[in-house]
Each structure stands twice: as structure tokens, then as C-alpha cells.
């Protein structure tokens, strides 16, 4: 798109953020905009007056990468992977900034994971690593919320990962031009204001271009698809004693140059 933008989706449309609090509407569908580059400007509104959603509220695919930080692999006492480890989340997990993470009664071990999320901007099929960043629309913050008990008592992680509301994304999509090097960003998670994760995307085992190229060799990536690129150390279940999300907690994922994504935690009633 060739422009530096912070794009938000809200109920009924999407737009760009100007300054701290102004949103200029640009049309109905952010993903359609990524595909066509066509926008129709509307009347500016305050962010607070809009019902903000995840930048991509219904991604076609959410591909998550396991053990993709060297420092997290060390913490977890697993070997640094030789090729990317994939698992999936689905659109049912996606919520926007400020929306509650609703924890079902089936888990007692809900945990946070700060992640840099990549949003695909163009159809990518068998792209070369050196071209791969051209297929990236931009970046946003993700919280790959995980129910550790459900995740780890079986070999397939889907049940513990693909839970409703367990993938906050936001607060906006920062276009790629704003972030020339996605592997030089401070990334962290704060729980009720206390720092729990603090690392840098330089610790990634497989970088953004490598992941896009790798994935595109066996699955066609579509505009609006999301890649959650893995989490650094400090996750709750590795701590001694473990720390799990509680009703009333507030979790913030913050990534340098991208933004901060805050969500409250709610036990399902």
C-alpha cells in the first residue's frame, strides 16, 4: 500500500488512526482494502466512540508457531526447533482490544503469551524468502492465550488453544513500512501492570520472511490471514510457582513500534 498507517476495524467498518484518538473511516472491510487498496473516506470520529474490533476480526487462517524464541525454548527445556512447529487457532478465538478473555470452567490453567502477529496482505503461494515481506500487510499484537491443562495433557494442542476469546489481536494493524525490521522489537507482557515477559523479537528462531515463505510452500496464504510468531519466556506455567490468569486480571501485550493491547480476564459465569 506504500503508506505508513495504523488501521483499526470497528463495528461497521475500518479506518486509520490519527494522533492518539481520532479515527478516519476508510470503508467497510479492512481485508478488502488490503486486497484492493481502495478506500472511501468518511467523517472522523473518536476511538472511544467506536466499537473497536480486532484489526482482522474474522481471519481465514490463524497459523501459530510453537517454540519460536530461542530464550523460550531454553526456558521450556526443549531443543530449538529445526523447522517451524505449527498449530492452528480459528476465527472463534479472535477478539479486539478491551474485549474480555472469557475463561471456561473446563480449565484451571489459563495462561498468556505475548506474540508479534503478522497480517498477510496479498495472496502468497510458494514465495521465496527474499520476496516474502512484500506479502505482509503489517503487524499487530497478539495474546496467544492458552489453557495449559487442556493443551498439555494430549499431544495435539488445539483444544487448549482454540478456545473462544483466546486470541486478542490489536490494538491496530501497523503497516509494514512502519517496521523495516520486525526482528528488532522489544516485546513483553504485563499482568496487572507487573512485567511477566520481556524480550526482543531478535530472539526468534524463524523470522517473518522465513515463516511466510515456509508456510506458503504448502498452504496458500490469503489477505487477512494471521501468523502468530511465537512467544518469549516468562509465560505463567513455567514460573515457580506457576501464575495463571484470574477473574478480574488485566493483561497487556506491548510491542515496540506496534502498540499495546490490553484485555480483561473474566471467568465464564
Q: Which residues make up the interface to Zn ion (CB under 5 A)? A: 113, 144, 231
Question: Closer to Zn ion at the Cβ: 144 or 254?
Answer: 144
Question: Closer to Zn ion at the Cβ: 5 or 205?
Answer: 205
Shortest Cβ contact with Zn ion: which residue? 144
Min CB(25)–Zn ion separation in Å: 33
Bridge partners of 120, per DSSP, are 136
How far lies 152's CA from each of 8, 61, 159, 160, 196, in Å? 34, 23, 10, 8, 21
Residue in 256, 228, 251, 253 with CA at minimum distance from that of residue 66: 228
Question: Closer to Zn ion at the Cβ: 23 or 212?
Answer: 212
Question: Closer to Zn ion at the Cβ: 7 or 65?
Answer: 65
* Rounded Cα gap, residues 50 and 61, in angstroms: 26
Min CB(162)–Zn ion separation in Å: 12
Min CB(87)–Zn ion separation in Å: 8
DSSP characters for 66-131? ES-BHHHHHHTT-PPPSS-EEEEE-GGGEE-TT--EEEPTT-S-EE--EEEEEEE-S-BSS--GGG
Question: Closer to Zn ion at the Cβ: 33 or 69?
Answer: 69
Min CB(4)–Zn ion separation in Å: 28
Min CB(190)–Zn ion separation in Å: 17
Amino acid at each position: 500500500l506504500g503508506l505508513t498507517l495504523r488501521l483499526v476495524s470497528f463495528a461497521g467498518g475500518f479506518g486509520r488512526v490519527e494522533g492518539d484518538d481520532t479515527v478516519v473511516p476508510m470503508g467497510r472491510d479492512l481485508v478488502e482494502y488490503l486486497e484492493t487498496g481502495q478506500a472511501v473516506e468518511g467523517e472522523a470520529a473518536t476511538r472511544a466512540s467506536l466499537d473497536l474490533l480486532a484489526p482482522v476480526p474474522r481471519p481465514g487462517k490463524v497459523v501459530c508457531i510453537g517454540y519460536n524464541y530461542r530464550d523460550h525454548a531454553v526456558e521450556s527445556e526443549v531443543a530449538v526447533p529445526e523447522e517451524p512447529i505449527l498449530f492452528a487457532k480459528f476465527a472463534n478465538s479472535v477478539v479486539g482490544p478491551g474485549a474480555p478473555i472469557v475463561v471456561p470452567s473446563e480449565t484451571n490453567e489459563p495462561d498468556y503469551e505475548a506474540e508479534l502477529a503478522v497480517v498477510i496482505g496479498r495472496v502468497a503461494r510458494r514465495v521465496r524468502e527474499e520476496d516474502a515481506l512484500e506479502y505482509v500487510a503489517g503487524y499487530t499484537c497478539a495474546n496467544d492465550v492458552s489453557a495449559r491443562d487442556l493443551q498439555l495433557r494430549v499431544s495435539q494442542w488445539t483444544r487448549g488453544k482454540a478456545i473462544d476469546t483466546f486470541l486478542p489481536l490489536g490494538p491496530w494493524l501497523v503497516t509494514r513500512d512502519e517496521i523495516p525490521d520486525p526482528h528488532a522489537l522489544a516485546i513483553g507482557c504485563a499482568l496487572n501492570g507487573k512485567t511477566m515477559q520481556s524480550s526482543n523479537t531478535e530472539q526468534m528462531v524463524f523470522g517473518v520472511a522465513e515463516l511466510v515463505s515456509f508456510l506458503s510452500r504448502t498452504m496458500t496464504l490469503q489477505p487477512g490471514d494471521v501468523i502468530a510468531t511465537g512467544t518469549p519466556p516468562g509465560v505463567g506455567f513455567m514460573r515457580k510457582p506457576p501464575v495463571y490468569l484470574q477473574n478480574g486480571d488485566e493483561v497487556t501485550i506491548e510491542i515496540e513500534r506496534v502498540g499495546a493491547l490490553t484485555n480483561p480476564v473474566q471467568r465464564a459465569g
